A and B are shown apart, each in its own frame.
Chain A
Amino acid sequence: MMDLNFVLGTYLFALIGTVAGSLISSLPGLHVYNVIGFALLFYIPMAERFPVHPFMMTAFLVGMLVGYGFVFTVPTVYLQAPDDTLVFNLMPGQRYLTEGRGHEAVVLTSLGALLGILALVVLAPLVMPYLKLLSDLLNPHLHWIIGMVILYILLSEFPKDFGRRKKISGRLIEGWSTIAAGYLTFALSSVLGIILFTKTLIEPSRAFQNLMPALVGLFAAPNVILNLISRREVPRQVIQRDFDADHEDLFNGTLSGVLGGGFSAFIPAVTAGIGGLLAGHATAQWGDRSFMISMGASRVVYYVGAVTLFFMPLIHVRRGLLAQNIALFYAPETHAQFYLFLSAIAFSAIVAFFMTILISRFLARRVSARSYRIVSAFTFAAILGIVFGMAGFVGLAVFAVAAMIGIIPVIYFSRRSNALAVILVPIWLNMSGLMDKVVQLLGLR
């Protein structure tokens, strides 16, 4: 039996974590994993002497993660600075923002996140007995499953051309320019990822921030740069109380979001954005509203689901950075802890949902009050500051390279999912046993 103080303490730490995570996530370009990395750098050496129970520390960290899962939608929509999991939300978010409905986009995505958490909390105990079996079954096949995702990214982009040239060769060149730009993005992101996975460019004392500048450069920076130079203006944002989403949008969005997020949480290297996108294709999803709901659900199920796998008794699969970090100082043991963990997640999700609405309202009123170029300039300065603060000058250099790669799909209207090769390809090469050969081929060793 757990005593009441322990349970209340857990909720309190989850609450503090959620509020902290929500506030941190309002900043563009800052991933909560980076902050958690720094926090753990101080906490782990003194974990045994720390006056707080490790489980409560875990609740605090998970609260931060839940806060991030919800609130990062706000800078994605208003400042156009997503991370790798929200990058697909950018287009509909941009559309809603230019129609003065940015708040609606945020609420729809957050609603998806809330429904995703609800589904996770309800389904996790039900699927728990089968997950160990599934894990044992799929483990020898992960290399081709990740390869399957990569191949689909490469094969499923089709030309967005208009074929106006007279000669066939001219039409082919015109049509293939988007695909070629996509493949170029994929190739360059892959090489960048391989370098970052095999070389320690950023010193470990900076809390293992090796990938952070690349991810910010690839996903957060390109649209901010484009907004800086394109004189885009944002109209006054309407903060409405009613939203045009029916129960089918909610059901369809949640279904594909939970499927995509679950797949991403279970399969290494696959992140929520691409997982949600694949699930959207698999469930024949259609429409902006359903899409944004699914992206919200996919994102939280991916982040929180990965930690949930770690807390499942007898399974303890360590997927995602947070689970790997928690494993350094805490090992969950009982079913009671698992259920307390689930209830803390649900509690955090409710808090995070309302935090998102509050922060969205705050930003909605301000984003159109001044020139969007100034807003974008501030956003870009914040991103630069965060990258420099987290990863120093080398981080800025990696960021610059990644931003140049990330801007290719923005200019050529090719898919941004190609930039996900920065994570997918190195992990796939490792799992396929091909990394050494490729590293030698690239002259990196």
Chain B
Amino acid sequence: MKGFTHYLTGITAATFFLWAVRSAALEKSLIILLGGFAAILADTLDFRINKYLYRHHYEVDMYEGNLDPRIPLNALLRAMRAAWETGRRINIKFHTIKLSSDRWRQYSILIDEETRIIRVRIGPIVTTGQVPFPGTEPPEERAVAEVVSPYPIKYGYDKEINVDIFSGPDFDIYREGDHLIFEFLPWHRQWSHSITMGLLLAPLGFLIYGFGKMGWVAFWIIAVGYWTHILTDHFGLMGSNLFPPFTRKRVPGFHVTRSMSKPANIYTNYTNAMLILWNLNAFSPSRIFTLPLAEYAYAKFGTFASWYFFGLVNWVALFILPPILVSYALLVLYRRWYYGPPEVVAPGAERVEEALSESEEYLKG
């Protein structure tokens, strides 16, 4: 999901805590913000810190004066050989080529799992919006270098990756049996995207609010806010490493949606906004509105919990689900009418798009 969606989901989670909403309304407390803070923290840790801690064994750093497709190709081959011969994880980083504040030289790396072909192509100059300037490519004979990999490859991502704007991609390469495995952005969605990390960070709540009631509320807001990030990411493809140090690999996502999906982000944020409104009303010292099912439940059971729960069901059934379902149905019909049946996209392409889109989102701002 987009960073803002994570953030708002964390805020939403915080509004489920009665005392957080009450203290916000009555004492001008800012405790609800802890949910948003915790929810965006996982990506903050990765993109602000973790990427710098990761060791690159090989770095490809070309500039406009030494453009040569053999440079990245040879570096990649050396990294592959090192991984094959040593059996260790070897990381290779491809730096971008910045020409000015809004101009970049693009190059691409193609890795074909089936034919084992590895090809580097120096591309055109592009804008930060990745719009190419036609005619800026070098001549074909100086633009392309190609080799057949001496090792069997398990790649699993989009065949061709562009290196163009901001920070370039990096891979971990390691040997597994008689294959070399490529792992894209290996520092992303590891320890930072885990249930464990949420638990480790939650005691910050005690630091801010002490060991009293509000300290415990803050503790759970941070933990739950953090976990909402892991959960929403899991609806995508890439998944996360859930319980480090007990687990070491990413658990694949549920494959329900993609992080850059418009409908997924819009519907999640709409649901968030509506849940926030419900919670602010329900937990406020003086309620602004009520709903028939909530009133019925209160008359029958006489507890606030029953009022809240049945009211929430009523709220979801009336104001959250119908707009989402109707608009989604219209969207599907429109797409089929306008574009025809959906194309099948290789899962590897989707995974790489998810990872790249996340990193580019934060960089572009």
Q: Could you tell me which A residues sit within 8 Å of B by CB distance?
A: 91-92, 94-95, 98, 133-134, 136-138, 140-141, 143-144, 147-148, 151-152, 155-164, 168, 171-172, 175-176, 179, 252, 278, 281-284, 286-288, 413, 415, 417, 431-433
B51 adjacent to chain A (CB < 8 Å): yes
A281 and B40 alpha carbons, distance in the complex (Å): 13
Closest to B8 in A: A282
Q: Distance (Å) between the CB of B36 and the closest chain A CB?
A: 6
Closest to A165 in B: B52
Closest to B259 in A: A284
A98 and B98 alpha carbons, distance in the complex (Å): 18
Whether A147 contacts B33 by the Cβ 8 Å rule is yes
Would you list 23 pairs from A and B whose C-beta atoms are within 8 A, ordered by A residue? A92-B129, A134-B277, A136-B288, A140-B284, A143-B24, A143-B28, A148-B32, A152-B36, A155-B37, A156-B7, A156-B40, A158-B43, A160-B363, A162-B167, A162-B168, A163-B167, A168-B53, A175-B51, A175-B52, A282-B5, A282-B265, A286-B260, A288-B129
Whether B284 contacts A156 by the Cβ 8 Å rule is no
Q: Could you tell me which B residues sit within 8 Å of A by CB distance?
A: 2-5, 7-8, 11, 24-26, 28-30, 32-33, 36-37, 40-41, 43-44, 47-49, 51-53, 59, 61, 93, 95-96, 98, 101-102, 127-129, 166-168, 260-262, 264-266, 269, 277, 280-281, 284, 288-289, 361-363, 365
The A contact surface, by secondary structure, is helix
Whether B277 contacts A158 by the Cβ 8 Å rule is no
The B contact surface, by secondary structure, is helix
A179 and B362 alpha carbons, distance in the complex (Å): 12
Whether A138 contacts B30 by the Cβ 8 Å rule is no
Whether B280 contacts A137 by the Cβ 8 Å rule is yes
Q: Distance (Å) between the CB of A268 and the closest chain B CB?
A: 15
A172 and B277 alpha carbons, distance in the complex (Å): 40
Apart from the given pairs A140-B24, A163-B167, A164-B95, 16 other A-B contacts in the complex at a CB distance below 8 Å: A133-B288, A137-B277, A137-B284, A140-B25, A144-B29, A144-B30, A147-B33, A152-B36, A156-B4, A157-B365, A158-B362, A171-B52, A176-B48, A282-B266, A284-B266, A415-B365
A172 and B52 alpha carbons, distance in the complex (Å): 6
Q: Distance (Å) between the CB of A148 and the closest chain B CB?
A: 6
Q: Distance (Å) between the CB of B186 and the closest chain A CB?
A: 14
A175 and B47 alpha carbons, distance in the complex (Å): 10
B-side contacts of A134, CB under 8 Å: 277
Whether A432 contacts B44 by the Cβ 8 Å rule is no
Whether B96 contacts A144 by the Cβ 8 Å rule is no
A-side contacts of B280, CB under 8 Å: 137-138, 141
Q: Distance (Å) between the CB of B155 and the closest chain A CB?
A: 24
Whether B269 contacts A282 by the Cβ 8 Å rule is yes
Whether A283 contacts B265 by the Cβ 8 Å rule is yes
Among A134, A143, A152, A417: residue with most chain B CB under 10 A: A152
A286 and B265 alpha carbons, distance in the complex (Å): 13
B-side contacts of A287, CB under 8 Å: 129
Q: Distance (Å) between the CB of B235 and the closest chain A CB?
A: 14
A98 and B8 alpha carbons, distance in the complex (Å): 37
Known: A282-B2, A284-B260. A158 touches B98 (CB 8 A): no
A-side contacts of B127, CB under 8 Å: 95
Whether A148 contacts B11 by the Cβ 8 Å rule is yes
Known: A282-B269, A283-B266. A158 touches B48 (CB 8 A): yes
A-side contacts of B129, CB under 8 Å: 92, 95, 287-288
Q: Distance (Å) between the CB of B229 and the closest chain A CB?
A: 12
Whether B28 contacts A284 by the Cβ 8 Å rule is no
Q: Distance (Å) between the CB of B196 and the closest chain A CB?
A: 22
B-side contacts of A284, CB under 8 Å: 2, 5, 260-262, 264-266
A-side contacts of B32, CB under 8 Å: 144, 148
A-side contacts of B261, CB under 8 Å: 284
A-side contacts of B24, CB under 8 Å: 140-141, 143-144
Closest to A92 in B: B129
**Which single member of A92, A164, A286 contacts B61 (CB below 8 Å)?**
A164
B-side contacts of A133, CB under 8 Å: 288-289
A143 and B8 alpha carbons, distance in the complex (Å): 16
A359 and B332 alpha carbons, distance in the complex (Å): 41
Closest to A226 in B: B101
A-side contacts of B167, CB under 8 Å: 159-163
A287 and B130 alpha carbons, distance in the complex (Å): 10
Closest to B359 in A: A158
Closest to A167 in B: B52
Q: Distance (Å) between the CB of B60 and the closest chain A CB?
A: 11
B-side contacts of A163, CB under 8 Å: 51-52, 93, 167
B-side contacts of A156, CB under 8 Å: 3-4, 7, 40, 362, 365
A-side contacts of B281, CB under 8 Å: 137
A323 and B32 alpha carbons, distance in the complex (Å): 31
Among A92, A162, A171, A433: residue with most chain B CB under 10 A: A162
